[in-house]
Structure 1
Amino acid sequence: MALLFPAWTCVMGFILGAFVGSFLNMAIYRLPRGKSFFNPSRSFCPNCEHALGAPDLFPILSWLLARGRCRYCDQRIASRYLWVEVLTGSLFAGVWFKYLTETYDPLRAGFSAIMIACLIAVIYIDWELYIIPDELNAAILVTAIAFQALQGNLHGALVGGLTGWGILFGIVLLGRLAFGKDAMGDGDVKMMRGVGAFLGPWLTVGNMAIAVVVGLIGGIAGILIANRSKGSGEAEAANDDDEPMPEATPVPLVLLAGIWYLLCLDVLALFIPPLNKWVHRYFPEESVEEEDDWKPGATTIPFGPYLAAGALICILFGAPIESGLKRYFHVAPDVSSTSEP
């Protein structure tokens, strides 16, 4: 069956991923800002808001041929639009090769592609705006449960989800008790609940380890860059660390939130308007107000993008990562239940 898709067909995976990346660019802009996906129905320039035509919507090539500028207002278009399409295309090509060429597992290929799309959106939204929309976290959880149900592995989904939730919520609670401030956003807890359900417990631990290493490197690099900017006389950057931080969440509310996310009631609230309205009295919805003046300091580093990056690595290289973890902890691999992501 592997011969059905020879290696060169990975190009098709790249093209498909690039088109998905084009949609993700729209989602990355609209979703956290509360803008409808259907009104306007066509993509538009974020600067002049002119509707884009067919020549503007071809992934990668449109940005390159226009030299990163809008054809209507001549303003620069962020390079993020290009890199999202390139990254999504590359990861889809990797999934195509691993699960349609190297092995033949179309079910895993399809669900891995959906997870990759959600995680790329998480990376760019959280990196820019320091939030992870509830809709994205719900999509990650639903995708994970659906995949594991079709695999007949709901037990693995349950244990993996508990592992992801437990590690992240433990950090949130201990950080609040030990340091008197919020150590991590709730969006990270909700994301790892769904990611853990998809990856299973072993790869969830591996995901966390990768995120810590990558986050440490990225955090140090970010601080060095910020300090260099301060040294060059950028007064605004120099004052970033003076911005007041939001008040710490009361401990009883932290505990209530942990139980709420454990029971997945936040996902139900998205589909039950009265429940959604009630819960947002206590758990403000993660969205962006255009007039928000808060500016993160140099040491304000979102951990969500690193968690999502670790998950992407585990999706593509899960088997050797899980095998390595089990060897490290001297656990005999269970051939019948070893997860493949």
Structure 2
Amino acid sequence: MTPDVLIVIFAGVLGLLVGSFSNVLIWRLPRRENIAFPPSHCPHCDHRLGVIDLVPVASWLSLGGKCRYCRAPIKARYPVVELLTGLGYAVIAMLFPPLTVGWGALGLMLLFTLLLVGSAIDLDTFTIPDELTLPGVALGLIFGFLNGRAGVGTLPDFAGAVQGALLGAGLLVAINQFGSWVLRRFRERSYPELPIGYQQISLGLIAGAWLGPWWGTGVGVLSAAVNMAAGRVIRVPEWLTLGGLLLSLVLGSAGTGPGMILMVQGALAAAGGVSLVAGVYWWLRREPEDEAAGTDSAEEPYDASAMGFGDVKLAAVIGAFLGWERLLVALVIAVFAGAILGVAQLAMKRENRVKFGPYLALGAVVALIWGQQWVSGYRQLLGL
């Protein structure tokens, strides 16, 4: 066997093992449980599982999908997650040979696990844990740095990872901001967050359009600092921020200011920056009693929202690992898949919410495999 074939096989076996651990994350993260202690045990009888009970796929098949000790049924999702992870890792090792792309291949495998675990949790709980997304963004930036040092042209370097993370979060949160504004029939938010939240993100949008991403992010963070110093929310009207952004883009298209394209890029990147700052702040501010109860202040009143904030952070993860061009491909795939499959989901389950995380993950996998060819073909079509 050639070294590349051996690496693909090794990657597949590694994926099976990581898939087994992924099942632990899927079960424990939503429940705020320690992912290492206690050791693996049956959720029904609490009996500690031995090594023979934890062999990926094989243990489930040999036990007939039931616990060895209490005979309670074990979900088929366990071997499915293990098989998908093994297959995903093998495909990544085949398309992005580690001997060629170096650490970048490991980064893509990590991204695949984050997407799979986040999707499974989203399907169960309508949430995507910060413990996955926010460290995932940081890891994407680290692998971007390693890609840059290794000269891996097919994957983003550090600057590309930063741009991808900011634009990923910014694009999703901008959709949420305008969608939520429409859902509220253009009324102001009744429950703005203190000290940082959607109002500061909207402020980052308009400030970033005129001042660029970093100054725009700074304006949003400064607004949060003012709120913190005042001990209350200093309202920033959305007719001024979101309405002002629309007017700014009209002016930009007419040749005023930096120009419409740069204004859009600056607005989205700044909004993404403020979103990630807000995400980290609220993650660190989570109350211990909320963690113990398995809630995150979910019973507090809230304004209508077009999209979950977990999706915003997941888009940042995708952008950090894949870059902004593949991120756009992922988002287009996610929107089409969500439009088709989401309608069927709503019809069958009679739910009024679509779990968008799995569609984002599906789009990211498609973009990972075919995104670069599609982007190159699009550039050739435009003569770029």
With normalisation by structure 2, the TM-score equals: 0.63
2:65 alignment counterpart: 68
Aligned twin of 1:175: 179
Q: What letter is aligned with 1:183?
A: A
Question: 152, 157, 161: which one pairs with 2:161?
Answer: 157
- Per-residue CA shift, 1:262-312, capped at 9, x if unaligned? xxxxxxxxxxxxxxxxxxxxxxxxxxxxxxxxxxx5232110111012112
How many residues are treated as equivalent by the alignment?
257
CA distance in 2, matches of 1:78, 1:3: 38
Alignment of 1:318 onto 2:322: no
Q: Which residue of structure 2 aligns with residue 211 of structure 1?
A: 334
The aligned amino acid for 1:168 is L
**Matched position secondary structure for 1:323:** helix
Letter of the 1:58 partner, please give it.
V
- State the 1:184 CA deviation: 0.6
Deviation, structure 1 residue 55: 1.4
Among residues 128, 132, 136, which one is paired with 1:132 in the alignment? 128
Residue in structure 1 matching 2:21, options 10, 20, 23:
23
Quick one: distance in 2 between partners of 1:144 and 1:311? 14
Query: Percentage identity across aligned positions?
Result: 35
Aligned residue for 1:232? Answer: none
Tell me, in whole angstroms, the C-alpha distance in 2 between the residues paired with 1:212 and 1:29: 28
Aligned pairs for 1:60-209 (under 5 A) are 60-100=57-97, 104-152=100-148, 153-180=157-184, 181-209=304-332
Moved more, 202-211 or 151-160: 151-160
Aligned-pair distance for 1:95? 0.9
The runs of 5 or more residues in structure 2 that have no matched partner are: 149-156, 185-303
Query: 1:224: Cα distance to partner?
Result: 4.0
- Report the Cα offset of residue 321 of structure 1: 2.9
> For 1:76 and 1:28, how far apart are their aligned partners in 2?
17
1:304 paired residue number: 357
CA distance in 2, matches of 1:127, 1:331: 42
**Is contact 2:142-2:158 (8 Å) kept?**
no
| 1:178 Cα deviation from its structure 2 partner | 0.5
Alpha-carbon deviations, 1:14-52, whole Å to 9, x = none?
A: 211010000000011001110012320x11112122111
- The structural deviation recorded for 1:320 is 1.2
Q: Which deviates the most, 132-141 or 92-101?
A: 92-101
Q: Shift in Å at residue 207 of structure 1?
A: 0.7
Larger Rg: 2
Task: Select 1:34's aligned residue among 26, 32, 35.
Answer: 32
CA distance, structure 2, for counterparts of residue 178 and residue 156 of structure 1: 33
**Alignment check: 8 A CA contact 2:346 2:353 kept:** no
Does the Cα contact within 8 Å between 1:203 and 1:321 map onto a contact in 2? no
Q: Report the RMSD for the aligned CA atoms in angstroms.
A: 1.9
Deviation, 1:9, is: 4.8
Distance in 2, matches of 1:91 and 1:171, equals: 30
Q: 2:63 is aligned with what amino acid? A: A
SS at match of 1:5: helix
